[in-house]
Structures are given as structure tokens and as C-alpha cells.
């Protein structure tokens, strides 16, 4: 089957994203062919396109390369060994991470075991926005061993990962604080956090010490936020490029710090899909772009000021 894809033609700015046609083979064995309705756009996509990070280094000789790790759509065809999926079912997944990607495409071949059913009451747009960001948030809180009544500070609480981490930490019974800009204070407070305006001064002058820091920003911002953590407190820093520097500074400050790389989990995805269906979790979609305007989606992500998530629509 022939489909349109948006590929990284060379490393550089957003203009390096180019449409291409591809022909996918019929699914074999335990493969499933999915007609993608929406693909999630994540900061890692833009970083890879810019030539930064491990996925870029591993794929530098394989360009053009199709990015995208989040997708939702309907089953078009299944391989002969597939028993759990039928044509027409609504599915989503965190796929091709970190080296294969592929979700910026009208269709994709994936392993049957990588998919989750999208429950009634959850749109395909929501389902496509959830997997990578939701699992990153979930695993960061798990890695930090967040417990009820602990004070947890989440940096960038209005972002794609951040707004989900705020809700998941709140659901754990934590006392959640989250940094954001002035324009996002009401949004973040509405998710269950004490919203802290990072534009109003150093965070350490605005809040009492916390037990846990979830650093979704990294670099100098992540290092400065270490001053908000109680002696012996825990830090999980998510941006991989600055993790070593943040962890080294945390160690000097007497804190327990670690970086993380998200690992796809169908179980976690399905738990959060169920929460979405019950209204126990909200996912905010800031913008939707047609596939051919993927460069604009990347420019939006690269502002660092996106509230919630951005998705690509395959229907234009």
C-alpha cells in the first residue's frame, strides 16, 4: 500500500522535514497494518531532526528517516499469527522507540503486542497524544518513588509531560507544586498543583523545601531547582542531554539523583487510557497540524512554551 510520510531529509531546521511516498508490504506473522489518524509530536522529534541525541547519531546514515513515536488509528490488516486485533479496531501505541520511529505517516506496520485498544469515550486525537508523554511522566514518578503526602516539585508543569505528571502525582496523593509561566498559572492550578510562576523570581524563594524534584527542563534551570529540595531528597531529571550535569550538581548538594530514558509499556498506556475514559486524567491538546504542515508543528514545539501536546492529523 502506498502512503504519504513526513521524513527528516537532512539534519537542520524544521524546513528539513519533507513529504515522501512509501509503499508498505502486507503484514506478516504478528504484524499489524494501522491506518494512522493522528501522530503525537514530541520534543525528542525536533531534537532528532536538529541532529541532537542518540537516535540522530544512530540514524545519520539512514536519512531520510520518518520520526514519530506516538500514534492512534484503526487496524487495516493483520498478519496470520495475530489473534487479538481485528480490522477496524481503534488502536494506539508508543512505537519504534528510540531508533525506528515511523509515526509521521498515513500508515504503519507494527508488532501486535505494541498496541493498546482505544476505549470508548477517548478520541483518537487524545490517544495519539498520550503514550510517550504519559509514560515518561508515569516512569519519572515511579523512579522517584513518590509517596502520598510527599511534596513534589515538577518543572514545566504546563508542558506535554508536565501536565500529565502533575495529575498522576496528585492521584498518588502527593502535595504537588509545579513551575510554569504567568499565563499558565490557572491551567496548572486546575490540574491539582500549587502553581509557581518561574518568571517571578527564583523558585527557592517562593516555596518551602520539597521531598522530590521531577526535572523536565534540565540544564541551568534543573540545576537551580535543586536548591528547592530537602537534604537527602530525590531528583529525577528527564532531559538526557543535561542529565550528567544535573546529577553531578545534585550529588554535591547531598541529593539522590538519577536520569531516565522512557521505556514503552503497554500496561501503563492502558492504565492511563482507562483513566482518560473515566475522566480521572485529562490531556490538553494545544494544536493540531496536518501532516504536510509538520514543520509548523516542530516550530511550535521548539518555542518551549506549548501548553500540553501537539499532534499531526493525517486527514489534513
* pLDDT value, residue 316: 65
Predicted pLDDT of residue 186: 98
CA–CA gap between residue 308 and residue 23 (Å, rounded): 33
Low-confidence ranges of the chain (pLDDT < 70): 316
Q: Is 17 helix (H, G, I), strand (E, B) or coil?
A: strand
Share of the chain above pLDDT 70, in %: 100
Residue-wise pLDDT tens digits, 49-75: 999 999 999 999 999 999 999 999 999
Residue 71 phi, psi dihedral angles, 5° rounding? -155, 155
Q: pLDDT digits over 70-118, tens only?
A: 999 999 999 999 999 999 999 999 999 999 999 999 999 999 999 999 9
**pLDDT at residue number 4:** 98
Give the phi and the psi of residue 55 in degrees, each rounded to 5. -60, -40
Residue 1 has what pLDDT?
75
Instruction: Kindly give, in sequence order, each residue whose CB lies less than 8 Å from that of residue 211, ignoring residues fewer than 6 positions away.
Output: 150, 151, 152, 229, 230, 233, 234
Burial of 86 (0-12, 13-18, 19+ CB in 10 A): exposed
What angle in degrees, to the nearest 10, is found between the helix axes of 131-143 and 266-278?
Answer: 110
Cα three-residue angle 293-43-138, rounded to 5 degrees: 125
pLDDT at 236: 98
Q: Residue 15 in 3-state DSSP?
A: helix
Amino acid at each position: 500500500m502506498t502512503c504519504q510520510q513526513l521524513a527528516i531529509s537532512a539534519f537542520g531546521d524544521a524546513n528539513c522535514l519533507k513529504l515522501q511516498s512509501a509503499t508498505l508490504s502486507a503484514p506478516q506473522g504478528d504484524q499489524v497494518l494501522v491506518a494512522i489518524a493522528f501522530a503525537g509530536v514530541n520534543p525528542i522529534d525536533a531534537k532528532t531532526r536538529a541532529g541532537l541525541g542518540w537516535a540522530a547519531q544512530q540514524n545519520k546514515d539512514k536519512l531520510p528517516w520518518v520520526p514519530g513515536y506516538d500514534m492512534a488509528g484503526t487496524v487495516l490488516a493483520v498478519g496470520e499469527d495475530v489473534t487479538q486485533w481485528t480490522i477496524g479496531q481503534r488502536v494506539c501505541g508508543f512505537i519504534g522507540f528510540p531508533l525506528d520511529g515511523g509515526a509521521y505517516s498515513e500508515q504503519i506496520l507494527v508488532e501486535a503486542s505494541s498496541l493498546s485498544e482505544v476505549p470508548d469515550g477517548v478520541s483518537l486525537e487524545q490517544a495519539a497524544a498520550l503514550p510517550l508523554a504519559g509514560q515518561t511522566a508515569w516512569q519519572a514518578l515511579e523512579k522517584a518513588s513518590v509517596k502520598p503526602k510527599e511534596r513534589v516539585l515538577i518543572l514545566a508543569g504546563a508542558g506535554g509531560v508536565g501536565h500529565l505528571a502533575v495529575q498522576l502525582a496528585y492521584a498518588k496523593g502527593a502535595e504537588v507544586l509545579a513551575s510554569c509561566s504567568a499565563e499558565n498559572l490557572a491551567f496548572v492550578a486546575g490540574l491539582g498543583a500549587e502553581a509557581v510562576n518561574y518568571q517571578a523570581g527564583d523558585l527557592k524563594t517562593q516555596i518551602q523545601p520539597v521531598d522530590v524534584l521531577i526535572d523536565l527542563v534540565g540544564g541551568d534551570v534543573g540545576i537551580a531547582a535543586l536548591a528547592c529540595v530537602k537534604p537527602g531528597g530525590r531528583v529525577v531529571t528527564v532531559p538526557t542531554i543535561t542529565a550528567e550535569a544535573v546529577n553531578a550538581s545534585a550529588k554535591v548538594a547531598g541529593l539522590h539523583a538519577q536520569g531516565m530514558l522512557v521505556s514503552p509499556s503497554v500496561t501503563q498506556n492502558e492504565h492511563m487510557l482507562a483513566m482518560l475514559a473515566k475522566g480521572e486524567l485529562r490531556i490538553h491538546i494545544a494544536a493540531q497540524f496536518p501532516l504536510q504542515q509538520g514543520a509548523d508543528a516542530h516550530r511550535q514545539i521548539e518555542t518551549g512554551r506549548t501548553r500540553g501536546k501537539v499532534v499531526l492529523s493525517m486527514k489534513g
